[in-house]
Structures are given as structure tokens and as C-alpha cells.
Amino acid sequence: MTKDYRLVIDDMLESIAVIESYVQNVDELTFSQDQLIQDAVIRRIGIIGEAARKLPADIQSFASSVPWKSVIGFRNIVIHDYANVSLGQVWDIVVHDLPALKKNIEELRRKLPEVQPPI
């Protein structure tokens, strides 16, 4: 049986696109005051981290510029230490980190071969 990791990467790209739609025309002040947007964005960041966690190191190595440990680590914070999630940090991730992550994940998606080796 082979696992098509492109589907996992597609989950990451979908969550990035959804986050982009949630924060379109939203500034930091609005984000800080809108719990619905906060919760939705944080949930999608968790999905991105969970998907990243499912990618084996050999797949991650195709995108060495992605800070995989940080992506997965922040997922752990939003899932397990949710009371200590910093909204300022979430906003910084959305504004500063997400665009680069999107670019790198799109590049990773293009690099992956059509069929993965058996797991």
C-alpha cells in the first residue's frame, strides 16, 4: 500500500487558503476582538500542524526551508496548551509566516513524485 502524501499537503494548502479567506480585510485589532475568527484561524493552524506531523522526514526534506518543528510545535500548543495561546503570536504567524509557508508548501507539492514508495 502506498500513501499519497500529496493529499496531506493539499490539506495544508486548503487550510492556508481558508485562513486567508478568514482574515481578508481583517486587521490586527479586529482579529483581537473577534473570537469567532480567532477560533477558526487557530483551528486551521492546528490542522496545518497535524498534517505536517504526518509527513515523514524524507518528504519534509523536499522543503528544507519550512520550519517543520515550529509548525508541528505550534500545533501542539494550540491543541494541548490552548489556554496559553498568544493571539499576538497567532496574528504574527498569519501575517508574516503563512505567506512563506504557502509558497514553500506549494513548491513541495510540485516536487513530489506522482507515486510515493510503499510505506
Catalytic residues: 75, 80
CA distances from 65 to 28, 34, 60, 69 (A): 27, 32, 9, 11
- Its sign, for the CA torsion 72, 78, 80, 83, is positive
Long-range contacts of 37-42 (CB under 8 A, 24+ apart): 38/87, 38/90, 41/90, 41/94, 42/78, 42/82, 42/85, 42/90
